[in-house]
């Protein structure tokens, strides 16, 4: 077993180095050679852990997604309904340096999905998972009487996710279109519109 | 003059071919050779019109932006305030095949902005131009009494643009998260929230 654990830990280390490099320089500029150098491996040695750059990029996107989901689970704790939904949104919005780097990875990755069906599929799975969760929180909120029965949970979930994804695209503009303070204000306006 | 006109017309033709290829296959997969072949030029002949792929990509993004703005101007006509704003949004949302292709170009381009400051600057200029226009329509709507004085036009503009940009990112998911019908419904809910 120690060898297997070791292999998984090494993969995580390499992914972590990759996502930092990609967030800073973009997918196109980062080579397997750069990643090996930054992670302290000889050039060919990464192949034991990842078959190629595409596999590594997919793992990096999935790592960012899993990292966000871990923070979401911790932030939600026992919260349900609208409060859980708000906690989720606050972990996805690019409110601090880590989440800005994550948004840069995600925007870089989206660019690749246009040309690559495998990447498009990975992105679609992640988006659908989030939509299902958001719909679930909205349904809880409806049962608790916090969201009117007239609100279409599927539509409201996709509308809210569009806002969150759009806020991620803003991080690649030179000057952010929404400051962290404005992101929170826009989120509260958005949730107020669903719950009133 | 005919030679100059010719040059500009040729540039437009090449840009048009480029954006169709990029929308279909993504930025990374499309080469200058592909573009030359599709446009009916010998391989080196594109250099008379564009210094390289980056210049051509930037021109393609600006072409999509200008094309959208032309449609916006035509759709708005004499409309002002909220009606003008709604017409703008309907031209930006990926509601038909042309606008889905445009969204694919834009998402591809955003991916490149992470690594390339020149592209990031071009994107920032376009976003700021739209924000200024949206703020202007919201101020008109406020003067007409259609939007409460309490609405922060800068915040509302950026929030609405985030929704529009997020809807663009959805086109790269396999199955769209918002059907055209749902995009319109989400837009109307969004505008109702600003104007009520």
What is the pLDDT confidence band of residue B53, given thresholds at 50, 70 and 90?
confident
Q: Is the pLDDT of residue A2 over 60?
A: no
Q: Is the pLDDT of residue B57 over 60?
A: yes
Using CB atoms within 10 Å of the CB of residue B10, give its burial: 0 to 12 exposed, 13 to 18 middle, 19+ buried: middle
Record the tokens describing residue B64, joined without a space: 């999509």
Using CB atoms within 10 Å of the CB of residue B139, give its burial: 0 to 12 exposed, 13 to 18 middle, 19+ buried: middle
What whole-number distance in Å separates Cα of residue B109 and Cα of residue B127?
13
Residue whose tokens read 């654990």: A5
Which residues of A fall within a CB distance of 8 Å from B155?
178, 182, 185-186, 189
The per-residue pLDDT for A147 is 96
What whole-number distance in Å separates Cα of residue A41 and Cα of residue A37?
6
Task: Give which of A25, A154, A158, A167 to mutate to test B binding, by max B Cβ within 10 Å.
Answer: A158
Q: What is the 3-state secondary structure (H, E, C) of B44-60?
A: HHHHHCCCCHHHHHHHH
Nearest to B110 among A29, A152, A172 (CB): A172
Over residues B106-128, the mean pLDDT reads 89
Nearest to A165 among B29, B152, B166 (CB): B166
The model carries a pTM of 0.91
The per-residue pLDDT for B26 is 77
Q: Express each pLDDT in A71-95 by its tens digit.
A: 999 999 999 999 999 999 999 999 9
Task: Give which of B169, B175, B183 to mutate to test A binding, by max A Cβ within 10 Å.
Answer: B169
The per-residue pLDDT for B176 is 78
Using CB atoms within 10 Å of the CB of residue B16, give its burial: 0 to 12 exposed, 13 to 18 middle, 19+ buried: middle
Over residues B30-41, the mean pLDDT reads 90
Residue whose tokens read 């840009």: B15
The per-residue pLDDT for A60 is 86
**Are A136 and A75 within 8 A, CB to CB?**
no
Q: Express each pLDDT in B12-25 by its tens digit.
A: 889 989 888 887 88
Over residues B37-61, the mean pLDDT reads 87
Nearest to A193 among B25, B128, B193 (CB): B193
What is the pLDDT confidence band of residue B2, given thresholds at 50, 70 and 90?
low
The per-residue pLDDT for A44 is 83
Min Cα–Cα distance to chain B from A30, Å: 9
Over residues A179-189, the mean pLDDT reads 96
Pairwise pLDDT comparison (B174 vs B167), residue with the higher score: B167
What is the pLDDT confidence band of residue A29, given thresholds at 50, 70 and 90?
confident
Over residues B55-78, the mean pLDDT reads 92
What is the pLDDT confidence band of residue B3, given thresholds at 50, 70 and 90?
low
Give the SS3 label for residue B24: helix
Residue B167 and residue A166: Cβ atoms within 8 Å?
yes
ipTM of the complex: 0.91
Residue B25 and residue A115: Cβ atoms within 8 Å?
yes
């Amino acid at each position: 077993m120690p060898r297997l654990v070791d292999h998984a830990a090494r993969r995580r280390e390499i992914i972590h180095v990759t996502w930092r490099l990609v967030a800073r320089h973009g997918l196109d500029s980062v080579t397997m050679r750069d990643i090996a150098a930054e992670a302290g491996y000889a050039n060919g040695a990464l192949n034991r852990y990842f078959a190629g750059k595409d596999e590594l990029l997919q793992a990096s996107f999935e790592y960012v997604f899993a990292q966000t989901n871990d923070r979401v689970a911790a932030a939600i704790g026992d919260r349900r309904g609208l409060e859980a939904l708000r906690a989720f949104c606050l972990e996805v919005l690019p409110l601090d340096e880590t989440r800005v780097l994550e948004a840069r990875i995600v925007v870089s990755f989206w660019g690749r999905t246009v040309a690559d069906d495998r990447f498009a599929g990975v992105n679609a799975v992640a988006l659908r998972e989030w939509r299902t969760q958001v719909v679930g929180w909205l349904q809880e909120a409806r049962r608790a009487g916090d969201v009117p029965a007239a609100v279409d949970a599927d539509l409201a979930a996709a509308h809210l996710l569009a806002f969150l994804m759009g806020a991620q695209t803003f991080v690649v503009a030179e000057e952010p279109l929404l400051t962290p303070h404005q992101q929170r204000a826009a989120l509260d306006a958005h949730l107020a519109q669903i719950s009133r």
